Structure 1
Amino acid sequence: MALKVPKANNIQLFKDGYKHLSGLEDAVLRNIQAVPELSDLVRTSFGPSGRNKLVINHLGKLFVTSDAATIIREIEVVHPAAKLLVMASQA
């Protein structure tokens, strides 16, 4: 005897605005979006009038710095493309 699962067409499992991304094109778009987010984070610390940033790492340690390498090292990055940039900056 096989167990049948009823299909409901109008049930919404996720919140409004949820997008399900699948496939190569969607992965490329997410990678392209992740890299500018990382660059926007450190862009204001460059140049002669660079601003300081207040960074709290995963251990709760507080940093006030305008050094982009320190900012990138201390933030927690989970996206694979952005994490690759973090590892490249540390090399």
Structure 2
Amino acid sequence: MCYNANTRTDITGIIRRNWLIKMSQKDPCQKQACAIQKCLQANKYIESRCEDVIRAMRKCCEVHTGENSVCCSGFAKEHKSSETKT
């Protein structure tokens, strides 16, 4: 395929549109992620006091595995690294 300025603009527009659509979709585990933040703030960031909401987040991320969840992306990486340490 030959390159031309119009093709580049079309591709950029498509990428931008797809990004906007993706960003407008609600994250399936956002509610649980917010609950973790709220719990940690209320408990002076002592994780042991928030085990129930952290467990709920793990469960949500397991249910929505394979979906594009921004909330789960970092959480899943953190969970895997803690598993390898034990």
TM-score (norm 2): 0.36
Higher relative contact order (CA 8 A, sep 6+): 2
